């Protein structure tokens, strides 16, 4: 339901404003998730727990970047 309301509001804006609002939303939302993960891990396992999650997070980020690179090279293979 909330998505439909936001869609109606965004459709009233010009296209450049829709782009700016969407970019800001996509850029700001992950910051709250990172903050929540940090606050959750601060009480679990001390630094050992944080280091483990950081290692998995870095591995996930590298895998995502490599997957993105290879995915974007697929159209060039024809």
Looking at the predicted structure, is the pLDDT value of residue 47 above 90? no
The ranges assigned to domains in the chain are 1-41, 46-78
Residue-level pLDDT at 43: 66
What is the per-residue pLDDT for 48? 67
H helix runs in 1-78, sequence order = 2-12, 15-41, 46-73
pLDDT for the residue numbered 49: 67
Helix crossing, 2-12 with 15-41: angle to 10°? 140
Which pLDDT score, from 0 to 100, does residue 59 have? 92
Task: Give the C-alpha separation, 3 to 42, whole Å.
Answer: 33
CA atoms of 8 and 56, how far apart (whole Å): 39
| Contacting residues for 10 by C-beta, under 8 A, at least 6 apart | 18, 21, 22
pTM summary value: 0.49
């Amino acid at each position: 339901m909330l998505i439909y309301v936001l869609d109606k509001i965004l459709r009233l804006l010009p296209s450049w404003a829709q782009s700016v609002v969407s970019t800001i939303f996509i850029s700001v939302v992950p910051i709250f998730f990172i903050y929540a993960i940090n606050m959750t891990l601060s009480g679990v396992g001390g630094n050992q727990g944080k280091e483990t999650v950081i290692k998995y997070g870095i591995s996930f980020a590298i895998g995502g970047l490599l997957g993105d690179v290879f995915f974007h090279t697929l159209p060039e293979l024809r």
